[in-house]
Structure 1
Amino acid sequence: MLLKDKVLLVTGGSKGIGRAIAIGAARQGARVGINYAGDEAAAESAVKEIRGFGGEAFALRGDVADPASATAFVAAAVEAYGRIDTFVNNAGICPFHGFLDMPVDVVDRTIKVNLNGAYYMCQAAANQMVRQGKKANGFAGSIVAVSSISALVGGEFQTHYTPTKAGVLSLMQSTAIALGKHGIRCNAVLPGTILTDINKDDLADEGKRSYMEGRIPLGRLGQPEDLAGPVIFLACEELAGYVTGASLLVDGGAFVNLQ
């Protein structure tokens, strides 16, 4: 129960990595709030699963690209639980497309969701943590952003996506500096190739999937649940109280093997 009685919010929490983080945190005692974009059934399913093992959870629909959704999500959490202890920025999109004919609307939407959405969501959460003030142990909260190995390496069909994930990583480094004095820790996790809805079509090709697996020292693609532990570690004051501005690769060793 590493997060017993803590409040953790996660964007894009109805599916994939976000859902795994929400459920994993709830199993560690956290009260959870889930933001989701459109799949109400998936969000309700996640909440039901958490409540099924005795956890507390709520889900709120909202487009992270809209700054108003950030303040609404934070307000809903405060109304439900009275405070926020950890905010996990996870929501992101990656519609694969070539560079030379990349549609303007695809670029704009990807930036608005992945980068702008992260900025406004983290800003709203940080303001609430500052209002709450530091606890007796000197901490006011933690922010964890899901960046990507793509922040460090390029991708032929991800020219619109990789800059946003590099931006999210940079955002955590800068907010770690800006918010340290308030007792707020800010860190990033960088997943490698994780099997989610974002890449399921791309990895449906057995040849490509085998190739990707062959580049990973641990010999397999990641599962959403592989991110839950690292995020819980970064959220836990007892374990990671002196960790801020850090980036944690969760990629099965893929990055160090790309040489």
Structure 2
Amino acid sequence: MVTGGSRGIGKAIALRLARDGFAVAIGYAGSQDRADNTVDEIKATGGRAIAVKGNVAEPGDVTALFSAAQETFGRIDAVVSNAGEMELAPIREDSLAVFDRMMDTNVRGTFLVLAKAAEMLPHGGRIVALSSSVIAKATPGYGPYIASKSAVEGLVHVLANELRGRKVTVNAVAPGPVGTELFLKGKTEEQISMLANMAPLQRLGEPNDIANAVAFLLGTDGGWVNSQVVRVNGGFA
């Protein structure tokens, strides 16, 4: 299962996991056309996929997503909590609405997805939540976003301990700057170039860079990695 799987990093994760042999349940909140296109791409290569619309911050929608995956595929082996929002705002009282939106999707939504995953995953399941490498930069304007992603990392560490005895791994992947529609929105060419050159590898990440790390954590080779934050950022931080 991949929440926020209809575009950007989430879509790349869904497509990579399908290539690895997973049947994929895609959760989405926006465009049905985008979600259907992702499902069609997976099916075109012989994979299995469904798309389920819902808001990860609503318990009923999260339950419906998990139920649809369970009913369609018979079981749920791995969950990727990717759905999120990013808005820039300074730490001021008039930024409270932005802060609330970020906490609603990024923290409440992740909490609900992780909670349902903990309830439904079998012995040996895998959970990955998406964080952000910007946490280490403390960049002005990112206060609400950094607060929300710091909370995500805290939830990952705690849940890994709460699932002791079930051989379920819980990890986070923290991307650096990735050239997605969400990241590029509102930025000038100069800003994009500056961000690309901050990493020693001197480029923006690509969605597949992040998908590859998630696939490792969900695959056989990632079985001994637990309660970790994997910073996939080209050396950005």
TM range (shorter): over 0.9
Q: Distance in 2 between matches of 1:72 and 1:23?
A: 22
Structure 1 residue 156 corresponds to structure 2 residue 140 = yes
Instruction: Name the aligned partner's letter for residue 98 of structure 2.
Output: V
Structure 1 residue 77 corresponds to structure 2 residue 69 = yes
Q: Runs of 4+ in structure 1 displaced over 4 angstroms?
A: none
CA-to-partner distance for each residue in 1:190-236, whole Å, 9 max, x for gaps? 10001122221233x12111211221111100111111111011001
Percentage identity across aligned positions? 37
Structure 1 residue 180 corresponds to structure 2 residue 164 = yes
Report what 2:95 is aligned to.
103
Q: Is the Cα contact below 8 Å between 2:9 and 2:210 reproduced in 1?
A: yes
1:42, distance to aligned residue in structure 2 (A): 0.4
Gaps spanning 5+ residues in structure 1: where? 1-8
Report what 1:166 is aligned to.
150
What's the TM-score, normalizing by structure 2? Answer: 0.96
Gaps spanning 5+ residues in structure 2: where? none
Q: Distance in 2 between matches of 1:42 and 1:175?
A: 32
Q: Distance in 2 between matches of 1:199 and 1:10?
A: 19
- Choose which of 15, 32, 44 in structure 1 pairs with 2:24: 32
Instruction: Name the aligned partner's letter for residue 200 of structure 1.
Output: L
1:151, distance to aligned residue in structure 2 (A): 2.9
SS at match of 1:109: helix
1:246, distance to aligned residue in structure 2 (A): 1.0
SS at match of 2:143: coil
Report what 2:9 is aligned to.
17
Q: Distance in 2 between matches of 1:151 and 1:74?
A: 30
What's the TM-score, normalizing by structure 1? Answer: 0.88
Report what 2:111 is aligned to.
119
Greater shift in the superposed pair: 171-180 or 149-158: 149-158
Q: Is the Cα contact below 8 Å between 1:15 and 1:42 reproduced in 2?
A: yes
- Choose which of 106, 120, 127 in structure 2 pairs with 1:143: 127
Report what 2:38 is aligned to.
46
Q: Distance in 1 between matches of 2:88 and 2:201?
A: 26
Q: Distance in 2 between matches of 1:150 and 1:218?
A: 17
1:101, distance to aligned residue in structure 2 (A): 5.2
Q: Distance in 1 between matches of 2:226 and 2:194?
A: 35
Q: Distance in 2 between matches of 1:96 and 1:40?
A: 26
- Choose which of 237, 249, 257 in structure 1 pairs with 2:231: 249
Q: Is the Cα contact below 8 Å between 2:87 and 2:98 reproduced in 1?
A: yes
Report what 1:209 is aligned to.
192
SS at match of 1:161: helix
Q: Distance in 2 between matches of 1:232 and 1:178?
A: 23
RMSD: 1.2
Instruction: Name the aligned partner's letter for residue 111 of structure 1.
Output: M
Q: Is the Cα contact below 8 Å between 2:184 and 2:192 reproduced in 1?
A: no
Report what 2:177 is aligned to.
193
1:104, distance to aligned residue in structure 2 (A): 2.5
Report what 1:5 is aligned to.
none
Q: Distance in 2 between matches of 1:210 and 1:78?
A: 44
1:153, distance to aligned residue in structure 2 (A): 2.7
- Choose which of 209, 214, 218 in structure 2 pairs with 1:231: 214
Q: Distance in 2 between matches of 1:102 and 1:195?
A: 29
Q: Distance in 2 between matches of 1:151 and 1:179?
A: 26
Q: Is the Cα contact below 8 Å between 1:150 and 1:166 reproduced in 2?
A: no
